[in-house]
């Protein structure tokens, strides 16, 4: 299980606790998003509004995509099968690195980044 999952309806990043719990939810189904943001990372600017984190969520370079675009993406991937008619179910948790990996703790960041294949497989 990932160290954190983002609860999309509340935009809160919950830390994993014993029993594979995130907040009050045990073993929630989750979707993942993978993207390249490092080359567009800014020191200041608008960022995804995420509650429950102790680090600064990286700013988004709106020349490439906006915070609104990113919020819409996160909401869209929380709906499993969103592109398939008649096969839609809500998945309230999403793993996205900027909201689920402490961006200011390099050792933790490298460890969790190295687990991405397992995280993606669990989605």
Distance CA 12, CA 35 (A): 20
pLDDT in tens, 8-18: 999 999 999 99
Whole-structure pTM value = 0.85
Distance CA 49, CA 63 (A): 19
pLDDT in tens, 81-123: 555 555 556 899 999 988 999 988 999 988 988 898 899 999 8
Mean pLDDT of the chain: 85
Token pair 């600017």 is at which residue? 45
* CB neighbourhood size of 88 (10 A): 11
Which residues have a Cβ under 8 Å from the Cβ of 116 and sit 6 or more positions away? Answer: 34
């Amino acid at each position: 299980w990932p160290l954190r999952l983002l609860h999309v309806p509340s935009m809160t990043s919950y830390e994993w606790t014993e029993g594979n719990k995130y907040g009050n939810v045990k073993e929630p189904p989750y979707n993942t998003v993978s993207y390249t943001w490092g080359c567009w990372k800014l020191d200041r600017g608008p960022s995804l509004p995420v509650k429950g984190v102790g680090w600064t969520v990286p700013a988004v370079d709106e020349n490439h995509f906006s915070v609104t675009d990113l919020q819409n993406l996160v909401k869209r991937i929380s709906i499993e099968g969103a592109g398939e008619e008649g096969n839609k179910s809500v998945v309230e948790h999403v793993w996205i690195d900027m909201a689920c990996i402490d961006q200011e703790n390099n050792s933790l960041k490298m460890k969790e980044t190295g687990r991405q294949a397992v995280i993606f497989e669990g989605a």
